[in-house]
Structures are given as structure tokens and as C-alpha cells.
Amino acid sequence: MSTIKGCIFDLDGVIVNTARYHYLAWKKLANELDFDFSEKDNESLKGVSRMESLEILLKVGGLSFDDETKLALAARKNQWYVDYINSMEEDEVLPGAKKFIERARAAGLKIALGSASKNALTILNRLKLADYFDVVIDGTKVSRAKPDPEIFLLAAHELGLPPSDCVVFEDAKAGVEAAKKAGMKCIGVGIRSELADADAVIPGFENIDLCIL
């Protein structure tokens, strides 16, 4: 029998398709700086913090800037991203995600968010999802980004559970690595070839039963 007592969900790409908006905003920045940024390049940004994402993007463009300019570039990208998320609709929650969380709650499991994003609360509020979570750990609460396990360890701590009682749902390689380093079971959301270290991989939450835990 499963000993899982808590579920920790990543946000971008797991509960909501904001990965698309991150990509469009980074691509816009790259184009302004006069280089192209492909969806393939974007894969390595998933789950990675804003400033680290900028570093990866600038490497693709072969550019380097001082810290002040980098902060301004990241703020510029974030403004475009915030414009996108401020016009999101409730139906942009990924299929089956709400229902899965509702079933987990009904079964007595504790629910946490473990996202690197500093915009997580804006998204949860916009999509009326805030009440689904007992604990929200986002990019404003941690100092070390995934693949460091800090986000997930803090989420488990605030849920009052040992890491071994928690399962993490992640769409990013860096997130799967963070979950495994935290000593947690990890279910990848996406394609197995990209999430090889996850304990199991699901394409999304549609038709997924709690017995996956």
C-alpha cells in the first residue's frame, strides 16, 4: 500500500500551460536582441529560475551584459509574461488537473505547490486555484532554484510530512532532479524520454486515477 500522504505540484507546465507564455516572452526578448530562440532551446529553461533562464538565453545568442542590464532585461521579459498571465482564462488549467487535486484532497492527502515562479500567486488567484493548496512555496520563498531540493523540502516541512511521504509532480528535468534529491517519489508530467529519472511518467492528468500514487 502507498505511504504517500502529501502531493507537491509544480505549477508551470503541470497545472497550467504557462510554459508557452514563458517561451513567447523569452523569444520576444531574444528577437529584440537580434537572435532567434527555438522551442528546442526553450526546453532547458523549464523549471529554471528567471535569472538562470536569462543566462541560458544569452548564451544561445552569444551575448554578455553587466548585472544591471541583465536585471533590466529580465524585468522586461517578466512584464511581457505578466501581460500574458493577466489575460489567462480559467479554462487554461490543464485538463484533469483540478479534478485530480480534488480527488487527492477528498482522500485526505495534503496538497502543496512547489514552483520556482515569483508569479505563482498571481496565477493561482487569476485561475481561482489558491484554495486547492494547503501550502504554497514559490520563488519568493526560497533562495536556491531547482535542481536544488530546497523548494520541495520546504513544502514537505510546511505540510508537516517527512519527504518520503511526499510525491512530486513535475514537467521539467531540473524539477525531477530536485524531487529525487529531496528523497521524494516523482511523477513526471510529459514525455518519458525527457523525464527519464522520474519514477513514473504521465502525459497529463486526464483519466489519471489516485492509484498512480
Q: Which residues bind ligand BG6 (CB under 6 A)?
A: 11-12, 22, 45-50, 53, 78, 115-119, 139, 172
For 149-167, b where at least 16 C-beta lie within 10 A, e where not — what string?
A: bbbbbbbbebbebebebbb
- What is the smallest separation between the CB atom of 183 and ligand BG6, expressed in angstroms? 21
Residue 11: CB minimum distance to ligand BG6, A = 6
- Picking from 196, 154, 157, 201, the residue whose alpha carbon sits closest to that of residue 177 is 196
Nearer residue to Mg ion within complex by CB, 23 or 37: 23
Considering only residues 136-175, where is the footprint of Mg ion by CB under 5 A? 171-172
Contact 84, 29 (CB under 8 A): no
Query: Which amino acid is residue 33, in one-letter code?
Result: L
- CB distance 46 to 173 below 8 Å: yes
Residue nearest to Mg ion (CB): 13
Minimum distance from residue 186 beta carbon to Mg ion (Å): 12
> Of the listed 10, 41, 138, 171, which one is catalytic?
10
12 is catalytic: yes
The partner in contact with residue 110, picked from ligand BG6, Mg ion, none with C-beta cut-offs of 5 to 8 angstroms by kind, is none
Least distance between Mg ion and beta carbon 212 (Å): 18
CB 159 within 8 A of CB 112: yes
Query: CA dihedral in degrees (47, 51, 53, 54; nearest 10)?
Result: 160
Known catalytic residue: 165?
Answer: no
Per CB under 5 A, residues contacting Mg ion are 10, 12-13, 47, 171-172
Positions annotated as catalytic residues are 10, 12
